[in-house]
Amino acid sequence: MCGILAVLGCIDNSQAKRSRIIELSRRLRHRGPDWSGLHCHQNCYLSHQRLAIVDPTSGDQPLYNEDKTVVVTVNGEIYNHKQLREKLNSHQFRTGSDCEVIAHLYEEYGEDFVDMLDGMFSFVLLDTRDKSFIAARDAIGITPLYIGWGLDGSVWFASEMKALSDDCEQFMSFLPGHIYSSKQGALRRWYNPPWYSEKIPSTPYDPKVLREAFEKAFSKPSTGILVLILLAVFKRLMTDVPFGVLLSGGLDSSLVAAVAARQLANSEVACQWGLQLHTFCIGLKGSPDLKAAKEVADYIGTRHHEFHFTVQEGIDALEEVIYHIETYDVTTIRASTPMFLMSRKIKSLGVKMVLSGEGSDEIFGGYLYFHKAPNKEEFHEETCQKIKALHLYDCLRANKSTSAWGLEARVPFLDKEFINIAMSIDPEWKMIRPDLGRIEKWILRNAFDDDKKPYLPKHILYRQKEQFSDGVGYSWIDGLKDHANKQVTDAMLINANFIYPENTPTTKEGYYYRTIFEKFFPKNAARSTVPGGPSVACSTAKAVEWDAAWSENPDPSGRAALGVHASAYEAQKGGIAGKIAIA
């Protein structure tokens, strides 16, 4: 991941202003420690902090068209850049960067080229010929982007809030799948897939199609969902630097690792970095994830790296974590902290890119609360809402926790074509049906249940969903709650609605995180970038209504799915008192 900052149309274009832009851009240097770039054209500034993944020697940014009248600063990866270059054979390219195609696509097609990009990206493009500009964000919001407005009429864009919050009167999260055009002065949606309307699909389930769809997220075009999965992973092996896979031992990360291990032999990167895949896992000693990840790594033959942390080490990192991830959402902070610690360890090994398993739970209804979905209509609508909100939760966590240490995370499950295939399946097939032997994400598990050439051991393939913040060790969340209870008094929580009238925290843990967030980001606009509302096991507020008991225990942990999780909280009068084993 890189860091971008663009300021367009400011009144002041003095040296002092340039120095201020450089100073603010430095706040993003953790995202891109390899090089810094700045282009100034009259009262417009485009800056860039680079993490060099593709073409490290010549791909410094900002990037340009042939005569440098079009300037672009990009954060992300364009996986189909080679195919796009073939369509642009009349253009002269200066670098081997995958992102340079954006400047030339704009020359060729104007503003209507964004849907041609296959990748994860946020970019700002300036046309110096008429001083117009556009900014766009990828379909799901895998890469972060914020938009802000200065009192002088300037428009700002930044990869992280910390680069613009001090200098903008108002700012907000830039919506995924949208483009901003200075000519229109507004955002418009460029990403319009069939599932976005939330209309109930009716395509029958075909396990081969699903498996090929995921494999395609790694590689070249084909048909079928199984191939799409394979290719989704393969195309994300586009790199000129050392890489690996984040492996928790759960279904999603295990499938990514298993597919990547198989695809590696056929990829160009094998010539540079060898045939053995590196995998990484973190947890408290004895945690469920460590055990499962080691078993998967041994089974698929990776070089596995296991990291440990203590509850105290996690607590000590909380302030730094919240500064980097820019949220006070409880679930996100719980999961981001071990990911943040692991990313530092990974970067110390010389690795700059990792594959990760985010997105599958939203697409397939993998969270345990989906067991209580009353019908396929509400099941499907919930998955749509979850995908649309990914940029505020798991995408934000995966990107910012890793980027804090100059590490890039790529997410094959959020491949555009794979999402379209998976979301076109009749949701009846995604419903959890114990009477038919179907657990959560059964259609994905079944697609990879290959007796002849198994991807994973059966008990891993059918392991119950474990949220990352739980899987690293149950005492992690329990320790966070105990720590927060010592920092926040009963009186403080009772009066929380007066101190924090917007998104009022309802638990001491939530209150504690909010105080840290407000210290770094005190403006009203900052707190409005964080979603709110009740949640059980990562549900939307609406899905809490699926079970009356959940309203008594609105905790985002998977263990709050009472009667579903094998180590669920025990609901007793006065709150959560312990755990019970479900037979």
What tens digit of pLDDT does each residue of 45-91 get? Answer: 999 999 999 888 888 999 999 999 999 999 999 999 999 999 999 99
Domains and CATH numbers, the chain: 3-192 (3.60.20.10), 245-476 (3.40.50.620), 483-572 (no CATH)
Q: What angle do CA 402, 403, 404 make, to 5 degrees?
A: 90
State residue 581's pLDDT score: 26
- Which residues of the chain are modeled with pLDDT < 70? 216-226, 466-471, 473, 554-583
User: 2, exposed or middle or buried, with CB in 10 Å at 0-12, 13-18, 19+?
Assistant: buried
Q: What angle do CA 349, 353, 357 make, to 5 degrees?
A: 115
User: 403, exposed or middle or buried, with CB in 10 Å at 0-12, 13-18, 19+?
Assistant: buried
Q: Whole-prediction pTM value?
A: 0.93
Structure tokens at 340: 């943040």
Closest CA to 467 of 562, 563, 565: 565
Rounded-to-10 torsion of CA 3, 8, 14, 19: -10
State residue 560's pLDDT score: 55
Helices (H), 120-247: 207-213, 225-235
Q: What is the pLDDT of residues 541-568, one digit of tens each?
A: 899 999 888 877 766 665 555 566 555 5
Closest CA to 244 of 321, 398, 347, 140: 347
Residue 204 DSSP code: P
What residue numbers does the annotated binding site cover?
98, 246, 282, 356-357
Active-site residue, from 2, 281, 384, 538: 2
What residue numbers does the annotated binding site for ATP cover?
246, 282, 356-357
For residue 40, indicate whether it is catalytic.
no
Residue type, 50: R
State residue 579's pLDDT score: 27
Helix pair angle (330-348, 311-325), 10° resolution = 100
What residue numbers does the annotated binding site for L-glutamine cover?
98
Q: What is the pLDDT of residues 205-246, one digit of tens each?
A: 988 888 777 776 665 444 456 677 777 888 898 898 999 999
Half-sphere exposure of 313 (CA within 13 A, CB side): 13
Q: Do 291 and 281 contact (CB within 8 A), yes or no?
A: no
